């Protein structure tokens, strides 16, 4: 069997083919590189052929499938248990039937859709891709995998489909998992890693026998699980944390802290927790293009180290202090924590800067300039925006000063740059099972994962690390300060107020609260039993394509009337969860947004309604839904 490196090279080669090949052969080649192939297919290479063969009743519409965005659609193949039934170490069996089996429910159907794209267009949203995927899934009784091409990138969407618990003749289309915006010419390392893990070769090596559709489906759901992704990421982060607290040296401790070994160790641990959370936050800002990628991604596509700081010999560089003092301190404290108009010095303040000799550099209010290369582009710092939060406030123990010598304060480069082959290890296990475990730099770890700034929902999720991870990492790393002392971990959490509710709990509580409110309003209005049943389907079957027009007015009125208050909102998990759920319900009962727009206009004085209506014309439906809910319905304080 090919190893991981060979599979990644094959994947990268086939991705390049999307730039100059028709979609169907390029998509088939990628599936082949992943180990998935079949002769079962249908002659569908256009929307007209799809409608003729699978959609005679025209279930696909502009509203539910965004048909005007399609350039073409291809039916690639159907993958059944027959193709999987060979020996685990061999390729898929291809001597089985070559006809599409419409009654073979335990199978996957692979589609490819070319979306219209013009240079400079934003990539399609996760919601758009999910909408199309759900619509396609309703045409066939088996789950589908959809590969989308949009300009220079592709995205892959896979649905989790299960039997309806109340009606065994119907399926429920639940969560859609997406691998989005894979750059075909220069794929990100995280995307190549994820695609390699998704390959049949990897799955068979990790889970053993995959000879049936249920085994493949289980393996896919596990590899696409964001919970599993978060667990794997956090395990790597804890290993790094264990290594870092032994390498970092602080020159100053928090005020009024005794300078002894116990308090110094505790201060180092807390400093490291802040460092992780700040760097993780900066990584999400990089996804929003607010922090330049070249400051955080320390190796290029060919795995060569980017030159940002003054280098010595490789090993000497890894033991140096350049990256934290020259790059990260400026990102954290002189950019994100400093208004843009205060990033220059003048008069005596500039003249007294003895770290550099060039007058133009003396005027820059950045630290660690003597650690950066002579031709360093300070515009990389200048264009980072100011954030008026508290995460980047400078504390005494942050040691943010050019006057502190490296001997007293050190956050070595190896904590950010080290590769596994550099040979750094930590102790793992206990007793006779004690071993040495390899570790690598935190930027290297982050670079292997895909990040998204769109928070996942119960219906659609990127196979990527999302912003919820910030709170979870902070809370759990506080517990790592002394994992054997639960009281210490508890006091650390209390001191910071860091209690983060898992999203699944948030989703459950939000949905139950909304359903209770809606049901109460329905009963007050004398709703029929049929209306109450339709309401239950709306709340508990999120992918149900039923016609909710009979209850639409009642739902919109009830959502417009509700007031939601979280008196201890913290990071806002519950208000945000409520916002997402209310937007989703409004979208299902009022897809053209006419009812909700009337509500928004009715809130305004009559003399400005005409102008407001014209202003709404160019806004997306979800923008208007969120605008109205945030203005009137959702409240939080802390």
Lowest mean pLDDT among 125-129, 363-367, 484-488, 489-493: 489-493
165 band by pLDDT with thresholds 50, 70 and 90:
very low
Q: What is the DSSP string of 244-277?
A: HHHH-B-S---TT---SHHHHHHHHHHHHHHHHH
Burial (0-12, 13-18, 19+ Cβ within 10 Å), 394: middle
| Segment 171-198, tens digit of pLDDT | 555 789 999 999 999 999 899 999 999 9
- pLDDT band per the 50, 70, 90 thresholds, residue 496: very low
DSSP per-residue letters across 507-550: HHHHHHHHHHHHHHHHHHTT--HHHHHHHHHHHH-TT-----HH
Residue 487 confidence class, pLDDT cut points 50, 70, 90: low
Given a cut of 60, whether residue 564 has pLDDT beyond it is yes
pLDDT of residue 132: 94
Reply yes or no on whether the pLDDT at 417 is more than 50: yes
CB within 8 Å of 193: residues ≥ 6 apart: 8, 448
Tokens encoding 190: 């995280």
Lookup result for tokens 């006091």: 491
Read off the pLDDT of each residue in 624-635 and give the average, rounded to a whole number: 93
More confident residue, 630 or 255: 630
CA 451 to chain centre: 4
Q: What is the rounded average pLDDT of the residues 44-49? A: 94
Centroid of chain to Cα 112:
23
Q: Give CA angle at 97 (94, 102), nearest 5°.
A: 120
How high is the pLDDT of residue 118? 83
pTM comes to 0.80
Give the per-residue pLDDT at 121. Answer: 83
Host H or E run for residue 158: strand 153-163
Most distant CA pair in the chain, distance: 83
Query: If you ran DSSP here, which 8-state letter would residue 432 be given?
Result: G
pLDDT of residue 482: 62
Q: What is the pLDDT of residue 545?
A: 62
The mean pLDDT value for 536-546 works out to 77
Domain ranges for the chain, please list them: 4-224, 229-496, 503-636
> How many beta carbons lie within 10 A of that of residue 633, not counting itself?
17
DSSP string covering 28-76: HHHHHHTT---S-B----SHHHHHHHH-TT----HHHH-GGGEEEEEEE
What percent of the chain shows pLDDT beyond 90? 45
User: 582 in helix, strand or coil?
Assistant: helix
Question: Does 297 score more than 90 pLDDT?
Answer: yes
Q: Once rounded to an integer, what is the mean pLDDT over residues 530-552?
A: 83
The SS3 call for residue 589 is helix
| Contact by Cβ (8 Å): 45, 23 | no
Mean pLDDT of the chain: 86
Q: What's the rounded mean pLDDT across residues 308-315?
A: 72
The distance in angstroms from the start CA to the end CA of the chain is 56
Give residue 626's pLDDT band: very low, low, confident or very high (50, 70, 90).
very high
pLDDT in tens, 210-222: 888 889 989 998 8
Residue the block writes with tokens 């912003």: 467
pLDDT tens per residue, range 502-527? 778 888 899 999 999 999 999 998 88
Residue 294 predicted with pLDDT over 60: yes
pLDDT tens digits, one per residue of 256-288: 778 888 888 888 999 999 999 999 999 999 999
pLDDT of 87 over the 60 cut: no
């Amino acid at each position: 069997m090919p190893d991981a490196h060979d599979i990644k090279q094959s994947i990268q080669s086939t991705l390049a083919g999307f730039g100059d090949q028709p979609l169907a052969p390029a998509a088939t080649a990628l599936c082949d590189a992943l180990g998935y192939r079949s002769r079962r297919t249908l002659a569908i290479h256009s929307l007209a052929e799809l409608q003729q063969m699978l959609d005679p009743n025209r279930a696909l519409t502009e509203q539910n499938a965004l048909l005007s965005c399609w350039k073409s659609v291809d039916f690639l193949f159907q993958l059944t248990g027959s193709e999987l039934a060979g020996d685990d170490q061999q390729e898929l069996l291809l001597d089985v039937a070559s006809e599409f089996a419409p009654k073979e429910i335990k199978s996957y159907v692979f589609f490819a859709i070319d979306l219209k794209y013009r240079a400079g267009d934003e990539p399609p949203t996760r919601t758009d891709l999910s909408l199309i995927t759900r619509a396609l899934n309703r045409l066939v009784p088996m789950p589908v995998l959809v590969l989308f091409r949009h300009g220079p990138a592709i995205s892959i969407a896979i649905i989790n489909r299960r039997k309806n618990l109340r009606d065994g003749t119907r399926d429920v289309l639940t969560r859609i998992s997406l691998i989005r915006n894979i750059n075909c010419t220069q794929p990100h390392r995280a995307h190549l890693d994820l695609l390699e893990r998704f390959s049949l070769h990897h799955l068979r090596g990790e889970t053993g026998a995959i000879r049936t559709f249920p085994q493949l489906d289980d393996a896919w759901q596990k590899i696409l699980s964001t919970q599993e992704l978060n667990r794997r990421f956090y395990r790597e982060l804890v290993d790094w944390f264990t290594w870092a607290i032994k390498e970092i040296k602080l020159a100053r401790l928090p005020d009024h802290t005794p300078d002894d070994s116990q308090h110094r160790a505790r201060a180092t641990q807390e400093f490291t927790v802040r460092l992780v959370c700040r760097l993780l936050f900066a990584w999400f800002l990089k996804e929003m293009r607010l922090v330049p990628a070249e400051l955080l991604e320390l190796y290029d596509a060919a795995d060569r180290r980017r030159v940002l700081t003054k280098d010595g010999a490789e090993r000497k560089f890894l033991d140096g202090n350049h990256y934290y003092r020259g790059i990260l301190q400026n990102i954290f404290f002189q950019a994100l924590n400093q208004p843009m108009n205060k990033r220059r010095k003048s008069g005596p303040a500039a003249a007294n800067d003895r770290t550099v000799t060039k007058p133009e550099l003396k005027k820059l209010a950045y630290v660690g300039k003597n650690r950066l290369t002579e031709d360093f582009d300070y515009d990389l710092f200048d264009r980072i925006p100011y954030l008026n939060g508290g995460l980047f406030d400078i504390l005494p123990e942050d040691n943010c000063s050019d006057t502190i010598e490296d001997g007293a304060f050190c956050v070595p480069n190896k904590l950010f740059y080290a590769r596994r082959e550099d040979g750094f290890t930590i102790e793992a296990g206990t007793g006779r099972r004690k071993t040495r475990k390899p570790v690598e730099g935190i930027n290297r770890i982050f670079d292997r994962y895909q990040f998204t700034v769109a928070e996942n929902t119960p219906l659609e999720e990127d196979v990527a690390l999302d912003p919820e991870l910030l709170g979870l990492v902070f809370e759990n790393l506080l517990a790592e300060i002394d994992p054997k002392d639960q009281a210490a971990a508890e006091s650390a959490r209390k001191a910071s107020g860091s209690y983060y509710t898992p999203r699944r709990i948030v989703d459950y509580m939000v949905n139950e609260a909304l359903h209770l409110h809606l049901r109460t309003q329905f009963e007050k209005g004398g709703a029929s039993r049929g209306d109450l049943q339709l309401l239950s389907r709306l709340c508990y079957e999120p992918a149900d394509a039923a016609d909710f027009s009979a209850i639409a007015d009642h739902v919109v009125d009830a959502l417009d009337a509700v007031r939601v208050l979280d008196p201890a909102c913290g990071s806002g998990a519950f208000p945000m969860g409520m916002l997402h759920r209310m937007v989703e319900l409004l979208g299902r009962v009022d897809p053209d947004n006419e009812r909700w727009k009337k509500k928004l206009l009715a809130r305004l004085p009559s003399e400005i309604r005409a102008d407001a209506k014209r202003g709404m014309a160019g806004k997306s439906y979800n923008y208007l839904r969120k605008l109205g809910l945030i203005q009137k319905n959702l409240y939080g304080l802390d």
